[in-house]
Structure 1
């Protein structure tokens, strides 16, 4: 039976519900492509143990997946309170810095410290402060030194270490905190394939992170998480400076009007495809399946829309960290993806601007493979051809062969690409035949199937790009 390429890739977040070897084995067999480790909830010992465990299970199953470390990034949180405050509507409340555990002021107002010394300097009177994913909303009335006096607009429980959002406010926090650097060092040590940087606000954040990785000898790719209005304003530059983008709809839906989210998602996906960068749609994909064995109809439609818009990946968070049905979540996405991808009618996207002759050659190869009802085989050491082919979104499988073990796993993020690690021979024909043998033995293609091969070959002493029509033999 011929195996099929699943175009849309699946990222799962590992946690208590999925960290045992038996569940990891089921997830890998079900088709996950990348394991995400959320460093907001992980210590270094557990992280090292989990990375080794995932790789051990991959070796056992015979299918390898990539590791992505999600770096917490700069964030503002409340500090501790003696007990949860039940804020009341129109109550006057104060945020402070450096005054210790929450208490009542001399004026009889309740207050809580924040963990960011520049909090009072970054905001202005009239600004909105959102706490705990927007469940609590306050308006700034007055700023005196490090004290920020607010009026409660939407009341709720104010507990310890609640996340604070400041919609439309430019926050002068570093892109990488000291904690982040410690976490990243563990990822570098373990030679992981991807880092996701939270709360990216401008291209400079990514340039600093790239420099840090290069200085420490890491070949990992950086995925920029867009989560606030400043990131949306700098979207084009962020995509250009990154190795990929994550549309983190959780904080983004708090920082921006929720009715703008579908528009932001569509724009982000299209801009990434145009820029030949992979894009991930994340948060609340199958939130109901944390407790339920089946998705809501709205969730099915949401996932279908992300796939129809041709995102490279969809990502699961709480569904696979603490949910009751992590494997079923992956199977659900696979079912939806398979069905939606069957409906695609375009041979490839026609809206990409292709300037280089090589890019136009790849487009021609994709059309040719479609006309032949065949598939594409590409040989790559840097991933450039595979990434460009993926961005064209062809309606045929892309089999990418590489002799670079790091790139092999990094190709897993690209839509429609099925990567293979294989040593290359100095003779190009020997390499091609080895690839054909792998495809046939593993059930991806059968004898006689047409293949369009994209590779380099010698013309005399000169190495040139070539497109060849071949058949599996």
Structure 2
């Protein structure tokens, strides 16, 4: 249980979700399961959820919506193109030589001089002119253009609706199926987040929104996006197409830093161990990539094709776990560099106590920080300081436990919470003794309500195990 602090998100496919397979991923280090709605229908998703819940009630479930993206449509056969050729792009009818896209205003909104990147940049076109409601483009490199492939326009803010009809249906489905997280693609601004939140509010759903940042507009609006989203994902695939690839490492560091400062979980994603789809061992560059994301302070790392259809899915998760364990044992804690999070006056005692608990635990060598929590907020605040001391969060809510599956350094369990604080401390310490985590001489830091009924954290207690139990 206490093997690593960085969380791992694994993409699960509907045709590869047997309980034995899921348990193997869970045992190797998976904390959250991702369902990519671009490739599944609702009945597929329901089946995956059923299989996940059969394995463990501690696995968080994240559904990934498609979001506003431009794709090629109605191209019956692949189009072979050669560098220097001219082709036409339309949103209305199929050109003689070219293709149609799925966004009606595409031709109007894309200016002359823009770059079009097809299929994650495999084909590059430049817009030379506009004529008869078509873009006149020149092909920069030879290749093959296929139906349903993505079309990116770096530096151009297209005014597409934030939600597709399929997205809205899946979000409504999620509210009825006990899902913890919705990761929404191509979030550009606060309004994109609120479009999802309005559906959740209307259905009185507690689902948390993770904003996937995949373009320049999203980067520029990161602060305001984080003000209303639960967390963010550094979605490096499209991000590396929408902005120059050499800028992505610094953007990743900035996003992780900003999310951590705001006490919001952050996931780093895309091609982290991509070669392990076909090979039993990662490249050295991939190992360094995973390690650097952990050094940057990410809450979670995400695997996509590696676990959805890769030949070495369990090995990929185990590899990521091994890297995390090694890096976490050597990297410095960041607690001294982060200020106390500023919130309303009634929450500030909790926030000061949380930082104090982390700093004191580090200085005196406490074995664990124990917290009791209804919402998970105290555990998240402690985790934002990225301490080495494990944070063990106990809650009466299975949902809170699963929501904390995305938060760095937090090991959450669901228990029946005793009515008195002393009973709660006694119970949680005994549970950790039974698990072999604590011995009588270990120092423990407890942070929680002085009374179980307290509205906010107001108690910090530090002592040895044997003293707490006497």
2:437 is the counterpart of 1:444? yes
Return the offset for 1:347.
Answer: 6.6
Q: After superposition, what is the alpha-carbon deviation per residue over 1:256-301, rounded to whole angstroms, capped at 9, x for unaligned? A: 1000010000000000111111111000100110010000000000
Between 1:115-124 and 1:278-287, the stretch displaced more is: 115-124
Unaligned residue ranges in structure 1 (runs of 5+): 105-109
Asked if the contact 1:381–1:402 (Cα under 8 Å) also holds between the matched residues in 2, the reply is yes
**Contact 1:304/1:336, CA 8 A, preserved across alignment:** yes
1:329 corresponds to: 316
Of residues 346-355 and 305-314 in structure 1, the stretch that sits farther from structure 2 once superposed is: 346-355
Contact (CA 8 Å) 2:340, 2:352: kept in 1 or not? no
SS of the aligned residue for 1:204 comes to helix
SS at match of 1:370: helix
Aligned position for 2:21: 23
In structure 1, distance between residues paired with 2:270 and 2:177: 26
Equivalent residues in 2 for 1:371-382 (5 A)? 371-374=363-366, 375-382=368-375
Stretches of 4+ moved more than 6 A in 1?
Answer: 461-464
State the 1:54 CA deviation.
0.8
Q: Any residues of structure 2 matched to 1:43-192 within 5 Å, and which?
A: 43-58=41-56, 64-99=58-93, 102=94, 104=96, 110-192=97-179
- 2:227 aligned with 1:260, yes or no? no
Contact 1:86 1:158 in 2 (8 A): yes
The alpha-carbon deviation at position 28 of structure 1 amounts to: 1.0
CA contact (8 A) 1:16 1:322 kept: no
> Structure 1 208/464 Cα, relative in aligned 2: closer, same or farther at 3 Å?
closer
Matches within 5 A, 1:286-435: 286-346=273-333, 348-355=335-342, 356-374=348-366, 375-435=368-428
Q: How many residue pairs get matched?
A: 460
User: Residue 125 of structure 1 contacts residue 143 of structure 1 at CA under 8 Å; is this kept in 2?
Assistant: yes
Could you say what the CA RMSD is over the residues aligned between the two structures, in angstroms? 1.9
Tell which deviates more after alignment, 376-385 or 10-19: 10-19
Corresponding residue SS for 1:154? coil
In 2 relative to 1, CA 159–345 (structure 1 residues): closer, same or farther, beyond 3 Å? Answer: closer
Cα deviation digits, residues 152-207 of structure 1 (max 9, x gap): 11232011111110111111111111110111122111110000000000011111
- 2:345 match: none
| Counterpart-to-counterpart distance in 2, 1:290 and 1:462 | 48
Go from structure 1 to structure 2 and tell me whether the alpha carbon gap of 1:208 and 1:16 turns closer, same or farther (over 3 Å shift). closer
- Please tell me whether the aligned partners of residues 81 and 103 of structure 1 are also in contact (alpha carbons under 8 angstroms): no
The Cα shift of 1:82 comes to: 3.0
Instruction: String of CA shifts for 1:199-245, please: whole Å, max 9, x gaps.
Output: 00001111121121111121111000001111111122112221001
Cα distance in 2 between the residues matched to 1:396 and 1:4? 10
Residue segments in structure 2 that go unaligned for 5+ positions in a row:
343-347
1:48 is paired with a residue whose SS is helix
- Supply the distance in 1 between the matched residues of 2:3 and 2:277 (Cα, whole angstroms): 28
Separation (CA, whole Å) in 2 of partners of 1:225 and 1:462: 32
